[in-house]
């Protein structure tokens, strides 16, 4: 039994992170075994090492992967979800997906692949300043693979590399899936490069960075700091903008249920009437959907009138939605 089982959530928040006695749960160790087997099946005679830290990452120069300590106990997961709304990597499927991405960074470190000229030409330079945020451009989406959401490969050359590696590693039909995309050249390059690594020397160390045992903060302070760090852009754009369109009552049709049902129809109409791309319109629509869900709004007007008013609302707000930074992704 883990000692956290005996503590209440309030007591856990007061504990120092470095005093927690944690290990990677078996359901996640299973995902690690799958990843290691996948690397071996690809002919790669290398695998990353792992340690627990405060976030997912692979530090420069270290051929390993840091895993968030909050994934190591159900109560820690629950607390992080209370503070941030989501615990990244909670499901084994999401854990494995992140693992594939971080392995791209780790193998880059292990074999110093960022120094290769062809890699630099296709993906860009690692030395490019890492941004605090980025604004996705759907118009150039075919230059990148899609592994994580929000065109994450566009954030930085190293993220483009890691995203492309993740697709190469975990997607059997990548040649077919990306046959009409210029990103195929990047995938083919990685395929060729990995076949050359069989007998190559690589960095052999078990170094860690920001190990959880070095963190003197309490769990509460950690979660509070993380909320501040990732809380940017979280205020809903439609707050105080839709009171005239919906009602706060349980006696009528749920606005959120209506939006889910009508989403495709409303978005398709908007795409026909405007010059905006799907990603931007969808993001704008999702924010309205979240506001209606959180406020538990119900419809004020009949269905046809509501659809007309929602389209008018969205069209009238997309420009300001973009200018307010809501289409910018914070890292």
* CA dihedral (71, 73, 77, 80) positive or negative: negative
Same domain, 132 and 103: yes
What is the rounded average pLDDT of the residues 168-183?
96
Domain that holds residue 135: 3-228
> Does residue 95 come out as left (phi exceeding 0), alpha (psi in the -120 to 50 range) or beta?
alpha
Which pLDDT tens digit goes with each residue over 49-81? 999 999 999 999 999 999 999 999 999 999 999
Tokens of 35: 């990843």
- Number of domains present in the structure of the chain: 2
**Residue 262 within a domain:** yes
List C-alpha distances in Å: 221 to 11, 26, 171, 183: 13, 28, 39, 42
Same domain, 257 and 209: no
**Residue 235 within a domain:** no
Same domain, 16 and 155: yes
Closest CA to 69 of 83, 89, 41, 98: 89
pTM: 0.86
**Residue 189 within a domain:** yes
Q: Which of 135-149, 238-252, 303-317 has the lowest mean pLDDT?
A: 238-252
Which pLDDT tens digit goes with each residue over 17-45? 999 999 999 999 999 999 999 999 999 98
Tokens of 214: 């070095």
Which segments within the chain are labelled E, that is strand? Answer: 49-53, 64-68, 133-134, 246-247, 298-299, 329-330
């Amino acid at each position: 039994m883990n000692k956290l089982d005996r503590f209440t959530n309030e007591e856990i928040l007061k504990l120092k992170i470095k005093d927690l006695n944690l290990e990677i749960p078996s359901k996640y160790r299973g995902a690690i075994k799958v990843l290691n087997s996948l690397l071996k099946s690809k002919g790669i005679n290398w695998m990353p090492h792992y340690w627990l830290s405060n976030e997912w990452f692979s530090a420069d120069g270290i051929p390993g992967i840091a895993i968030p300590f909050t994934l190591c106990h159900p109560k820690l997961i629950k607390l992080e979800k209370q503070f941030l709304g989501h615990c990244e990597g909670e499901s084994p499927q999401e854990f494995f997906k992140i693992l594939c991405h971080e392995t791209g960074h780790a193998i880059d470190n292990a074999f110093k692949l960022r120094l290769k000229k062809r890699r630099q030409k296709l993906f860009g330079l690692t030395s490019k300043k890492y941004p605090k945020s980025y604004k996705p451009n759907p118009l150039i989406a075919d230059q990148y693979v899609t592994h994580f959401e929000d065109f994450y490969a566009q954030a930085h050359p190293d993220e483009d590399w890691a995203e492309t590696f993740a697709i190469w590693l975990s997607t059997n039909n990548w040649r077919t899936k990306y046959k009409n995309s210029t990103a195929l050249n990047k995938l083919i390059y990685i395929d060729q490069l990995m076949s050359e690594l069989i007998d190559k020397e690589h960095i052999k160390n078990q170094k860690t960075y920001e190990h959880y045992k070095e963190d003197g903060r309490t769990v509460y302070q950690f979660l509070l700091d993380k909320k501040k760090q990732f809380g940017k852009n979280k205020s809903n754009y439609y707050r105080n903008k839709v009171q005239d369109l919906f009602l706060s009552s349980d006696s009528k049709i749920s606005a959120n249920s209506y939006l889910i049902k009508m989403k495709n129809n409303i978005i398709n109409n908007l795409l026909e009437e405007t010059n905006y791309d799907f990603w931007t319109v969808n993001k704008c629509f999702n924010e309205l959907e979240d506001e209606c869900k959180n406020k538990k709004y119900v419809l004020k007007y009949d269905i046809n009138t509501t659809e007309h008013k929602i389209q008018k609302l969205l069209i009238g707000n997309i420009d300001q939605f973009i200018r307010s930074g809501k289409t910018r992704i914070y890292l």
